[in-house]
Amino acid sequence: MIRYLPNLLSALRLLAAPIAMWLILNNHDMAALLVFAGAGLSDGLDGFIARRWQVTSSFGAWLDPAADKLLMILCFTALLVVGASPLWLVALVVARDAAVGAGWLLIKGLGLPVAMRPLFLGKASTMAQILYILCVMLLLAFDLDAPRLALAVAWVCGLFVILSAAAYGALFLRSLYAGRPFVS
């Protein structure tokens, strides 16, 4: 049973993504915060279980980041629609993810060797995005008006997204022109 638990948690996170979006769009802010926080905890738990009991799988290696990306993109989109997140930040997040995905597909299509390891800046960008969404959802859930805080957190998040995009872009170019493996 423990062997399938990480993938089950990732699948539940995949299902939580549209629920969180619906809750945000329908002004159920506290429920959205709880769903998002629960999804975040499940992400940490599935990784811990997979590593602790060595029950990793190639399907899980695909499902986990897919669930994370869907949760993030749907929450960012919903926060944009309700006016709680700036368009420039959502556009940066989507553009960075699309560029990394397109680069990875191009490298795979060209048949270059690919090492599947996230960069530190990629992980930092994901953490900044999670903290940003969490901050905005907390403000919404507790009906707090803190535009300077929200803007400051958005700028920090945006900075990490840009740094991560630049790091992946540099690796992509090195892989493409020097024949070194692309790390994604």
pLDDT tens profile 75-88: 999 999 999 999 99
> Positive or negative CA dihedral for 150, 151, 156, 160?
positive
CA distance 119 to 183: 7
pLDDT band at 114 (very low <50, low <70, confident <90, very high): low
Average pLDDT, the chain: 91
Whole-number Å distance between alpha carbons of 120 and 118: 7
CA 18 from chain centre, in angstroms, equals 14
What gap in Å lies between CA 18 and CA 23, rounded to an integer? 9
What does the pLDDT read at residue 181?
Answer: 52
Instruction: Find the length of the chain.
Output: 184
Q: 18-64 pLDDT, tens per residue?
A: 999 999 999 999 999 999 999 999 998 998 998 889 898 888 888 99
Residue 2: pLDDT band with limits 50, 70, 90: confident
Burial class (CB in 10 A: 0-12, 13-18, 19+), 71: buried
Q: Angle, to 10 degrees, between the axis of helix 29-52 and the axis of helix 120-141?
A: 150
Residue spans of the domains in the chain: they are 1-82, 84-184
Q: How far apart are alpha carbons 112 and 115 in whole angstroms?
A: 10
Question: CA-CA distances (angstroms) from residue 160 to 19, 80, 146, 157?
Answer: 27, 19, 22, 5
Q: What letter would DSSP give residue 117?
A: -
Q: 115 forms bridges with which residues in the sheet?
A: 183
